[in-house]
A = this chain, B = another copy of it.
Amino acid sequence: MTSPLSRRIVLASRPQGEPALSDFRLEETPLPAPGPGQVLLRTEYLSLDPYMRGRMSAAPSYAPPVAIGETMVGGTVSRVEESAHPEFATGDWVVGMSGWQSRAVLDGASLRNLGARFEHPSLQLGALGMTGFTAYMGLLDIGQPQAGETVVVAAASGAVGSIVGQIARIKGCRIVGIAGGADKCDYVLRELGFDACIDHRTPDFAARLAEACPQGIDVYFESVGGAVFDAVLPLLNLRARVPMCGLISSYNATALPAGPDRLALLQGMLIKKRIRMQGFIVFDDYGHRFGEFYQAMSGWLAEGRIRFREDIVDGLENAPAAFIGLLSGRNFGKLLVRIGQD
């Protein structure tokens, strides 16, 4: 048998500011045959997520950076092509971390096996994967929304934000989204059923957000930062909660913004209003609660109470451009790359 090949995208250089296409390189490499306990996987879907920008930088973060010349990391849904693990058979769908490549040999122990027949497998990277899990735990465990409270969601048409808002609606909250552009706001209002959605690109954004939150903000789900957070901060109520899963507006920043320094201002606000701000990384902090999430979300999806939009790009070679677009909000819904046959 010939050695299987993997096409893969490696980190060619560390980006300064916004990543460029030249920071990525497409390669083809032979893979070893799977050893005992391993499986050979063919990637079907690759998830593109903002956190990957952090892994491209050498700066210390919550996970080590991707080394130059190494395959970009990423969550994937794949099918088993060859198995040396008793619990996996050829044709099984699996969820794992193959990264930006068309094939991978991985330990079976690192994979979740979905079985041979599986409807809508890409959902395992979205509403039923890290994306939905992030929305669920951040909102419910840190945000603790109560019926009647106002929940504001950054990037409300996005993968995480759209689910945060819909769970908050299920919990009886007033939900106000923030999104970039009229088409996204329209979708958030009409398709997702938010009570309001404010376009952060309009010049009077802060005033319109304040109008949409006449009772102030009790929970703000943060994934953006920057000017969006600046508009939110003065509206936060006594005992507001601010779960934070990301800060996409600053991922490409090469220097801190100009002053004045508002660090102490923020600290003072947290004290005066008894606000809780808390960052989290969902699998690290809540991995033990994945089963609970999966059951709840499966139910809501089946009942049609949560809708989920995917933005699918075809071809591994298009992953870098799609990822660069994600960082500036060009995607509309959960961004996935369909790898296809090779």
**Residues of A with Cβ closer than 8 Å to B?**
54, 60-62, 222, 225-226, 229, 238-239, 244-247, 249-250, 253, 255-281, 284-285
Between-chain CB contacts (< 8 Å), 20 pairs: A62-B272, A225-B267, A229-B263, A239-B285, A246-B271, A247-B267, A249-B264, A253-B264, A256-B262, A260-B261, A261-B261, A262-B262, A263-B263, A263-B265, A266-B266, A267-B279, A269-B279, A271-B280, A273-B279, A275-B278
Would you call B256 and A264 a contact (CB within 8 A)? yes
Give A279 to B272 CA distance when docked, in angstroms.
7
Residues of B within 8 A of A266 (CB): 263, 266
Q: Smallest CB–CB gap between A34 and chain B, Å?
A: 34
Give A119 to B225 CA distance when docked, in angstroms.
53
Copies of this chain assembled into the complex: 2
Give A256 to B268 CA distance when docked, in angstroms.
12
Residues of B within 8 A of A225 (CB): 264, 267-268
Would you call A274 and B285 a contact (CB within 8 A)? yes
Would you call B272 and A261 a contact (CB within 8 A)? no
Would you call A270 and B274 a contact (CB within 8 A)? no
Q: Smallest CB–CB gap between A316 and chain B, Å?
A: 29
Residues of B within 8 A of A238 (CB): 62
Residues of B within 8 A of A269 (CB): 279
Q: Which of B261, B271, B281 contacts A244 (CB 8 A)?
A: B271
Would you call B247 and A268 a contact (CB within 8 A)? yes
Interface residues of A, dominant DSSP:
mixed
Interface core residue of A246, A268, A280 (most chain B CB under 10 Å):
A268
Residues of B within 8 A of A262 (CB): 256, 261-263
Smallest CB gap from A251: residue in B: B268
Would you call A257 and B259 a contact (CB within 8 A)? yes
Given A257-B259, A260-B255, A260-B259, A279 and B274 contact (CB-CB distance below 8 Å): yes
Interface core residue of A239, A246, A267 (most chain B CB under 10 Å):
A267
Residues of B within 8 A of A285 (CB): 239, 274
Give A273 to B60 CA distance when docked, in angstroms.
10
* Closest CB pairs A-B (n = 8): A259-B259, A271-B279, A256-B260, A270-B279, A262-B263, A276-B278, A257-B261, A250-B264
